[in-house]
Structure 1
Amino acid sequence: MQAFRNCGLCASGNLLKGRTDFLVARRNMSVLRLSAACVQLLKDKTNVFCSSPVHQRLLRLPEVVRSKAVAFSISSGLCAVPFTQVENLSHESLIRRASCLVTDSANTYLSQTTLALVDAHTQYAKALHTLIALQKRYITSIGKLTPAEEDSIWQVIIGQRVEVSDRLEECKRFESNWMNAIHICELSAEAAYNSGAEHACTATKTNLQVAQSKVEEIRKISREAKKKLAETKAEEIQRMAEYVSSIDINDLEDIPEAYLRED
């Protein structure tokens, strides 16, 4: 800055006086030229940096990324470094995760087997009620049917009994799968509790209670249908006994064979 002021004095018309003033002026001019050279060097370095690929890539960085850049301070060094905390993958945590996966699979298995068992018992109960209706129709028509009509209705009853038997076998098959699912869920709930996954254990136990409740409800419906069928069978036997006792012994040969058979 002293050199610039001296140069300004020269430009204002002040004349050099003496040899000493001349030497001072030369020294100031040297300082001025050195300062200009330094400024030019800094300018060149700045242009090189601005045109470099690194600088261009930095300029293209999104604002969000640049805003999260690590902050530095010249006076105190590193001020803030953002980082993400990594979860501790210990043996306990891995076992806990695995037990949660086991309970999820067990719950899915339980859900599917429960749905299948409930549907099987529903179909079984429907088949029982259909057979009950056929039996009652037969009871009301005892002594009023021809042998051909008698055989026809008994063919329908026998076919429905086969249907009931098939539905019962289906219930037994799905019952076995459902019991396996119950056992697996109980084991998985215990494993989840021992590993520290209490929430998975609680959810599995809740699903067990819901599944057992639904199956018990449909079992009750099936038991009631079987009870009605047994009552209908007893009514049929009583009705046949009354019919046989009401006819003359000589007319027994005219009784259709279906009335005399034991079902």
Structure 2
Amino acid sequence: MASFSRRVLWGFSHLLRQSSPLFYRRHVLRIFKGSWRQVLSVGLGASLCAIPVGQRSDPTLSNDYLIRRAASLVTDSTQTLLSQTTYALIEALTEYTKAVYTLLSLHKKYTSLLDKMNSSEESAIWQVIIGARVQMKKLQDEYLKYEANWTRAVSLSEMAAEAAYQAGADHASVTVRNHIQLVQIQVQETRELAQKAEALLTASQSEEILKTIIEDKTNPPDGGSPVGSPEEIPEAYLRED
């Protein structure tokens, strides 16, 4: 259809050129003359639009404003980093605390059955305890890694807050400092729960050691009489720390 239209227009133009050459030239020149005026006006308009407008004439785009805005963007980024690292650290600390309580429960169970197990049963329980210790150590390493990331995020946030304050972005500075205090409280509360679990585990292990020594002294391997009393247990085993 498009080719047919072009053939019709070409035929009409050829006929017009042959019948009235003068009219054809004037008509074509008038068309091109008008087209070039349009092109020229559009080109000039585009060129004028491409010329940058002086931004410094607008007081809201002064150097101070731009610096304050940049400082606010930095504080937003550091807050995002701090929030993410805080979440990761709290989650890792929580999982580590659960692992500590699992190991604590196993130690208590082992201590309560110490004088009621045979050697094979004791060996089986110790295999479970060793596996729980390995898992606890793995989770401890993981939370320590996240704790290092969190500490760096806190430092960056503190520097961003100071930079915002120096730039005059007081609201951004105060917001970051409040955020830092909030996450520090959250992390401290979670860390205290983990430390409490560790203290309970240490006490349970001390109790286990004490009971094992008493059991060994009461029932010597050679079947002889007890070689000592609880008062003879070294002081190092009596300390819960």
Give TM class, smaller chain.
Answer: 0.5 to 0.7
- Compared with structure 1, are the counterparts of its residues 154 and 249 closer, same or farther at alpha carbon in structure 2 (3 Å cutoff)? closer
User: Does 1:193 find its partner at 2:165?
Assistant: yes
Q: 1:130 aligns with which of 87, 95, 102?
A: 102
Deviations 1:11-34 (A, max 9, x none): xxxxxxxxxxxxxxxxxxxxxxxx
Which residue matches 1:251?
A: 223
Q: Does 1:212 align with 2:184?
A: yes
In structure 1, the partner of 2:235 is none
- For residues 43-93 of structure 1, what are the alpha-carbon distances to aligned partners after superposition, in whole Å with 9 as ceiling and x for unaligned? xxxxxxxxxxxxxxxxxxxxxxxxxxxxxxxxxxxxxxxxxx955311111
The aligned counterpart of 2:77 is: 105
Larger Rg, first or second structure (1 or 2): 1
| 1:13 paired residue number | none
**For 1:1-263, what aligned pairs fall within 5 Å after superposition?**
87-248=59-220, 250-251=222-223
C-alpha distance in 2, partners of 1:175/1:249?
Answer: 47
Could you say which residue in structure 1 is the equivalent of 2:40? none
Q: Distance in 1 between matches of 2:207 and 2:176?
A: 47
TM-score by length of 2: 0.67
Query: RMSD of the alignment, in Å?
Result: 1.4
Letter in 1 for 2:173: C
The amino acid that maps onto 1:123 is E
Q: What is the DSSP-based 3-state SS (H/G/I as helix, E as strand, rest coil) of the residue aligned with 1:142? A: coil
Normalising by the residue count of structure 1, what TM-score does the alignment of the two structures yield? Answer: 0.62
Aligned equivalents of 1:166, 1:120: Cα separation in 2:
11
TM-superposition CA deviations, 1:171-191 (whole Å, max 9, x none): 110011001100000000001
Identical aligned pairs, as a percentage?
A: 40
Structure 2 letter corresponding to 1:158: I
Query: Which SS does the other structure have where 2:60 is aligned?
Result: coil
Q: Secondary structure at the match of 1:216?
A: helix
**Structure 1 unpaired stretches of 5+:** 1-84, 253-263
What is the CA–CA distance in structure 1 between the aligned matches of 2:120 and 2:160, rounded to whole Å? 60
CA distance in 1, matches of 2:221, 2:133: 32
Aligned residue type for 1:206: N
CA offset at residue 224 of structure 1?
0.6
Deviation at 1:139? Answer: 0.3
1:98-135 Cα deviation digits (max 9, x unpaired): 00000000000000000100111101110000000000
Report the count of equivalent residues: 168
Quote the Cα distance in structure 1 between the aligned partners of 2:107 and 2:126. Answer: 9
Which structure: greater helix fraction?
Answer: 2
Structure 1 segments (4+ residues) deviating >6 Å = none
Residue identity opposite 2:97 in structure 1: A
